[in-house]
Amino acid sequence: MPNETGTSSSSQLFRSKWLTVFIVEYAVISIINGFSILTVARNRHLRNRATYLIINLTIADFLVGTVSGPMHIYHTMTFEPGSGFGWKKFIVMIFDNTFTACSLLNLALLSLERLHATLFPFRHCIMLEWVYFKAVVCVWFFALIPASADAALFLIAPQASRYVWASLIIAVLFTVIVSYVIIALNLKRRVPSYSSGAVSSERKLTVTLLVVIFFS
């Protein structure tokens, strides 16, 4: 009995420490991305084709801090893995997972957008804004798939739920790495031309987005 009490108190202490870390992390995420959203809202010139995907990533990250964070803390403290399916549990975990999945998918989308701009610069320049809007809608739609799968599996087969996030993270990392390797090789081989100013601008944007992806 004393051993069980000691184990229980240690577990509670461990949870409380991680709870503090999570709260600080989610608060920082919310504040940083909140200021970024306000900056974009106040400066109209920042809202253009080149920044649509970054704005979408910022919104997703802001929702990670303000919605997913509290939901994650709530379900961690309340729901036991494998406790059985329930709609209330499922909805809470959907809010926990969707914005995180959307943030990850946005990183892959940013990499693919830069890859397209590098390999097909002319086609990229004439792309209309609705293409970006459709891409954003698709990201949010596809984010629901791993979010729903993880929520259901966590409640029914918790061991299997880990494979959902592992698969998503590996796919995103693979997309980012392959895209930027191809971009780097292509830029190294590119011969300077009369449009070197445009090329330089595209390079700066590509490097900036790589930094954003890295920190995200």
93's CB contacts (< 8 A; 6+ apart) are: 71, 75, 79, 147, 150, 151, 154, 155
Which pLDDT band holds residue 16 (cuts at 50, 70, 90)? low
Q: If you average pLDDT over residues 23-30, what whole number do you get? A: 87
Of 64-73, 80-89, 110-119, the range with the lowest mean pLDDT is 80-89
Helix (H) / strand (E) element for 97: namely helix 87-119
Q: What is the pLDDT of residues 126-159, one digit of tens each?
A: 888 888 999 999 999 999 999 999 888 888 888 8
Q: What are 188-203's pLDDT values in tens digits? A: 776 555 445 555 666 7
How wide is the angle at C-alpha 165 spanned by C-alphas 141 and 15, nearest 5°? 115
Whether pTM > 0.85 for this model: the answer is no
